[in-house]
Amino acid sequence: MNANQFLKAVQQLQGWRECAFVLSLAERAFPNYALFADAMELKTGAKMRQILDAGWNLLKPDAIEAAIPQWLRKLEALSPDVEEYDAYGVYPAYDFCQLLEQALLNRLNPGKHRATEASQLATATVMSFVEVSEAEELSEDELVRLLDQHPLMKEDKLFQRDLVLELKRQRVPRQEFIDTLRQQAENDGVSNLGISLSD
């Protein structure tokens, strides 16, 4: 699947598939938030985990969507203000919050397509991290080469492509399938930036 085919496949995601796609991106990015919250002693990681879990529960057939506005308010309250922190970690943490917000909004307003923007945001988080951590002295050409070859960029691309293919193949959101998707997204607690909750 080349870049254009991938983009087209993401644009075609709808309904539960689109929600599952964005949730999976949020799940993969969750350690970025949890580690930032820990480092800043915010004690908000567990509360955010609850909202993410609630998001996954929305894919169940008997899901109750009435609580979504309440979760969105909680999410907003737990989202860090990037202006308030000097640490780089606030940016990936904030990006995670944006992804989770998009997943919840998808269930509230399924008519608005959100997967493409979410996909680009998840990739931009990785790109920015690589630039900040490894590209300080590089020319533009060197940076392009670095991003093209970087293991984290390759992993992000692979994860997103596999996700889209699996979602396209699945006809209904069976619990077993959703559980597998979630486990793959969790990636043993290692985020899209290669940082782990057990570090």
87 lies in some domain:
yes
Instruction: At 126, list the tokens.
Output: 């990785």
Long-range contacts of 116-120 (CB under 8 A, 24+ apart): 116/7, 116/10, 116/11, 118/21, 118/22, 118/25, 119/10, 119/21, 119/25, 119/160
Main-chain phi, psi angles of 42, to 5 degrees: -85, -20
194 lies in some domain:
no
Main-chain phi, psi angles of 28, to 5 degrees: -65, -30
pLDDT of residue 99: 98
98 lies in some domain:
yes
36 lies in some domain:
yes
Closest CA to 40 of 81, 77, 73: 81
What is the per-residue pLDDT across 87-139, written as a single tens digit (0 to 9) for each? 999 999 999 999 999 999 999 998 999 999 999 999 999 999 999 998 888 89
1 lies in some domain:
no
Percent helix, strand, coil in the chain, to 5, is 70, 0, 25
Q: Could you tell me the residue range of the domain that residue 166 belongs to?
A: 11-189
199 lies in some domain:
no
**What is the CATH classification number for the domain harbouring 161?**
1.20.1590.10
198 lies in some domain:
no
* pLDDT bracket for residue 199 (50, 70, 90): low
What domain count does the chain have?
Answer: 1
Give the pTM: 0.96
**Summary mean pLDDT of the chain:** 94
